[in-house]
């Protein structure tokens, strides 16, 4: 019994001992595996060999990165077949090929000063001029070419207002900047033709902007922006508020990617911030608040949740996976690549941004129409941008025989809104008037803001109309976006460019 018990003990001890050994072995293996996790080490220095702390080292095209320590050293888990790239403020992005492996990564400093004799590169693809952006960045080029930025000098409506012509080229039709305010003509170039150099005849007459300057807000200008000043935002226009960095030799592009190791690129967080767009999208011109989009954004709910202009206007399409296919570009996450189409007030954007709620009820007083218009999912007022943009809500009613019925009460559109007098509706616009109180008036003429009734993001504006009870069979509400006041469009013979946001017929 006893021996049996003892031998039982013995076996139990052996089993326990074996278990312990196994556990020990496993632990040892785990310890041994740590150094066997493939890691690479390296050191980042400047071009003089001095170690650089705080540099960001990344496996190209991945989200894996490390920051160098005080001695310029870094460690990263190994990634086979990828290049290692490194960047820090004030330097070009550098890299080492997958074959050479890490070791010492040297950063070359950015040029110390802006070289104003730099020759701007035209974006248009052309086999003779290798450096042209469109040769390698085909998709981005086509997106940009379809955007308003590519037409900021040649845009036909802009030109018609600038030189007083109409759509068919007839002179002296309506608004005319060159006639009315010739000394003010140079102001437009700061944002519409930002690369025109001092002394160029295009500064007095933008129709003389030639070559790359006629490309308006183009790639090379936008990607030479090193910093954007806000201290005089609205007063310092476009290029005057940007610190550019144009190299004396070689090339330099700033952008949102920190792993482009072509020895001519530099990362800049500014490219994902509203501040980047501010100097061109905020402008008090001749004392008139013509462009106020940036300050509207500052006050918007979108800004409070961290949405920048780029989040809505450069949202990735999801289709672009390589920004320079066959020309050195790599496959990237399509959701990390921005789009350059920059849609503004398109039908899709407007319908997303404006909600119309309407309710029609029969009551003792008559047929009551209640309408609420709300701006939502937008980063500024609606409309925003150019001062003459407007949204117009019109309300009309008719009886069974088709005879128009006038409301008993309810708001009317201003008589000079361009829709005749006694039209029921609401105008959402920043209205400029001349010293005699007449509207519309071109912003470069003596004028002041009569009222600003544009929609604030996140808030509703309402209207209430009462129609005679027995005579009213149908009520129609239309909400339409106009780029310009109808009177101006008519005088200029412009093709219809209204956008209908909503058009509803309600029956009581």
Q: Which of residues 248-307 bind ligand HEC (CB under 6 A)?
A: 253, 255-257, 260, 262, 265, 267, 271-272, 274, 276-277, 280-281, 283, 285, 291, 293-294, 297, 302, 307
Within 424-443, the residues that bind ligand HEC by CB under 6 A are none
Do 226 and 59 contact (CB within 8 A), yes or no?
no
Closer residue to ligand HEC (CB): 316 or 437 = 316
Q: Which of 214, 337, 439, 447 binds ligand HEC (CB under 6 A)?
A: 337
Stretch that binds ligand HEC, among 27-35, 96-104, 129-137, 461-469 (CB under 6 A): 129-137
Stretch 173-212: interaction string toward ligand HEC, x if CB under 6 A: ----x------x--xx-xxx-x------------------
Do 279 and 241 contact (CB within 8 A), yes or no?
yes
263 backbone dihedrals φ, ψ, rounded to 5°: 65, 15
Closer residue to ligand HEC (CB): 338 or 369 = 338
Residue 77, exposed/middle/buried by CB under 10 A (0-12, 13-18, 19+)?
A: exposed
For the chain, the first-to-last Cα distance in angstroms comes to: 102
Closer residue to ligand HEC (CB): 332 or 464 = 332
Q: Does 136 bind ligand HEC (CB under 6 A)?
A: yes
Do 229 and 243 contact (CB within 8 A), yes or no?
yes
Residue 497, exposed/middle/buried by CB under 10 A (0-12, 13-18, 19+)?
A: exposed
Q: Which of 340, 430, 478, 492 binds ligand HEC (CB under 6 A)?
A: 340
Do 221 and 194 contact (CB within 8 A), yes or no?
yes
Within 449-468, the residues that bind ligand HEC by CB under 6 A are none
Other Cβ atoms closer than 10 A to 286: 13
Do 98 and 114 contact (CB within 8 A), yes or no?
no
Q: Which of 83, 214, 245, 378 binds ligand HEC (CB under 6 A)?
A: 378
At which residue do the structure tokens 């990165």 appear?
A: 65
58, 150, 263 from 109: Cα distances, Å:
19, 32, 11
Closer residue to ligand HEC (CB): 42 or 194 = 194
| CB 368 to ligand HEC: min, Å | 29
| CB 463 to ligand HEC: min, Å | 20
Tokens representing residue 286 in the block: 């001749």
98, 107, 223, 248, 331 from 252: Cα distances, Å:
24, 14, 8, 10, 22
Within 6-25, the residues that bind ligand HEC by CB under 6 A are none
Within 73-112, the residues that bind ligand HEC by CB under 6 A are 93
Other Cβ atoms closer than 10 A to 434: 15
Tokens representing residue 237 in the block: 């226009």
Q: CA-to-CA distance for 1 and 230, rounded, in angstroms?
A: 94
Q: CA-to-CA distance for 132 and 120, rounded, in angstroms?
A: 10
Collect all residues with Cβ–Cβ distance below 8 Å to 120 and sequence separation of at least 6.
195, 212, 213, 218, 220, 221
Residue nearest to ligand HEC according to CB distances in the complex: 385
Stretch that binds ligand HEC, among 14-22, 33-41, 127-135, 471-479 (CB under 6 A): 127-135
Q: Which of 44, 66, 288, 323 binds ligand HEC (CB under 6 A)?
A: 323
| CB 441 to ligand HEC: min, Å | 14
Q: Which of 56, 380, 430, 482 binds ligand HEC (CB under 6 A)?
A: 380
Q: Does 311 bind ligand HEC (CB under 6 A)?
A: yes
Q: How many residues bind ligand HEC (CB under 6 A)?
A: 95
110, 423, 478 from 413: Cα distances, Å:
57, 6, 13
| CB 110 to ligand HEC: min, Å | 12
Question: Rg of the Cα trace of the chain?
Answer: 32
| CB 314 to ligand HEC: min, Å | 5
Q: CA-to-CA distance for 423 and 420, rounded, in angstroms?
A: 7
Q: Which of 218, 450, 478, 492 binds ligand HEC (CB under 6 A)?
A: 218
> Dihedral of the CA atoms 434, 438, 442, 448 (nearest 10)?
40
Q: Does 125 bind ligand HEC (CB under 6 A)?
A: no
Closer residue to ligand HEC (CB): 271 or 465 = 271
Other Cβ atoms closer than 10 A to 382: 25
Closer residue to ligand HEC (CB): 385 or 425 = 385
23, 43, 270 from 432: Cα distances, Å:
83, 61, 34
Within 469-508, the residues that bind ligand HEC by CB under 6 A are 483
Q: Which of 62, 155, 396, 487 binds ligand HEC (CB under 6 A)?
A: 155
Stretch that binds ligand HEC, among 33-41, 50-58, 309-317, 409-417 (CB under 6 A): 309-317
Stretch that binds ligand HEC, among 26-34, 219-227, 361-369, 417-425 (CB under 6 A): 219-227
Q: Which of 58, 137, 213, 450 binds ligand HEC (CB under 6 A)?
A: 137
Tokens representing residue 483 in the block: 């780029």
Q: Which of 246, 389, 430, 482 binds ligand HEC (CB under 6 A)?
A: 389
Do 450 and 431 contact (CB within 8 A), yes or no?
yes
Q: Does 123 bind ligand HEC (CB under 6 A)?
A: yes
Q: Which of 44, 55, 83, 140 binds ligand HEC (CB under 6 A)?
A: 140
């Amino acid at each position: 019994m006893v021996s049996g018990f003892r031998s039982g003990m013995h076996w139990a001890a052996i089993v326990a001992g074996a278990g312990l050994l196994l556990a020990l072995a496993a632990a040892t293996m785990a310890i041994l595996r740590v150094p066997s996790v493939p890691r690479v080490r390296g050191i980042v220095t400047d071009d003089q060999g001095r170690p650089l702390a705080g540099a960001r080292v990344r496996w190209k095209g991945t989200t894996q990165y490390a920051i160098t320590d005080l001695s310029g050293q870094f460690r990263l888990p190994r990634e086979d077949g990828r290049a290692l790239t490194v960047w820090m403020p004030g330097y070009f992005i550098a890299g080492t090929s997958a074959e050479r492996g890490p070791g010492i990564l040297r950063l070359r400093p950015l040029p110390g000063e802006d070289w104003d004799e730099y020759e701007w590169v035209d974006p248009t693809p052309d086999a003779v001029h290798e450096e042209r952006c469109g040769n390698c960045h085909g998709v981005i080029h086509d997106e940009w070419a379809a955007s308003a930025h590519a037409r900021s000098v040649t845009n036909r409506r802009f030109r018609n207002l600038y030189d007083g012509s109409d759509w068919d080229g007839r002179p002296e039709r309506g608004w005319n900047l060159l006639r009315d305010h010739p000394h003010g003509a140079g102001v437009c170039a700061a944002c519409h033709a930002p690369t025109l150099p001092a002394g160029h005849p295009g500064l007095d007459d933008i129709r003389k902007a030639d070559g790359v300057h006629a490309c308006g807000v183009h790639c090379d200008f936008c990607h030479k922006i090193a910093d954007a000043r806000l201290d005089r935002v609205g007063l310092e226009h476009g290029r005057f508020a940007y610190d550019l960095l144009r190299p004396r030799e070689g090339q330099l592009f700033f952008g949102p990617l920190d792993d482009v190791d072509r020895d001519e690129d530099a990362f800049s967080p500014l490219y994902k911030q509203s501040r980047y767009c501010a100097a061109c999208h905020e402008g008090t011109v001749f004392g008139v608040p013509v462009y106020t989009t940036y300050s509207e954004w500052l006050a918007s709910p979108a800004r409070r949740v961290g949405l920048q202009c780029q989040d809505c206007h450069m949202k990735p399409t999801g289709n672009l996976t390589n920004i320079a296919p066959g020309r050195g570009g790599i496959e990237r996450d399509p959701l990390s690549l921005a789009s350059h189409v920059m849609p503004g007030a398109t039908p899709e954007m407007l319908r997303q941004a404006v909600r119309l709620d309407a309710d029609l009820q029969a009551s003792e007083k008559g047929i009551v129409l209640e309408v609420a218009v709300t701006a939502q999912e937008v980063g500024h007022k609606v409309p925003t941008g150019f001062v003459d943009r407007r949204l117009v809500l019109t309300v009309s009613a008719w009886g069974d025989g088709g005879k128009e019925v006038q409301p008993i009460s309810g708001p009317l559109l201003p008589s000079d809104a361009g829709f005749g007098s006694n039209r029921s509706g609401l105008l959402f616009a920043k209205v400029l008037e001349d010293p005699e109180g007449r509207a519309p008036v071109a912003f470069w003429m003596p004028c002041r803001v009569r009222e600003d009734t544009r929609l604030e993001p996140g808030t509703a504006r309402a209207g209430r109309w009462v129609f005679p009870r027995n005579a009213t069979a149908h009520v129609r509400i239309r909400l339409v976006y106009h780029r310009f006041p109808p009177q101006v469009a008519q005088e200029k013979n412009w093709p219809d460019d209204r956008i209908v946001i909503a058009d509803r017929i309600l029956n009581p």
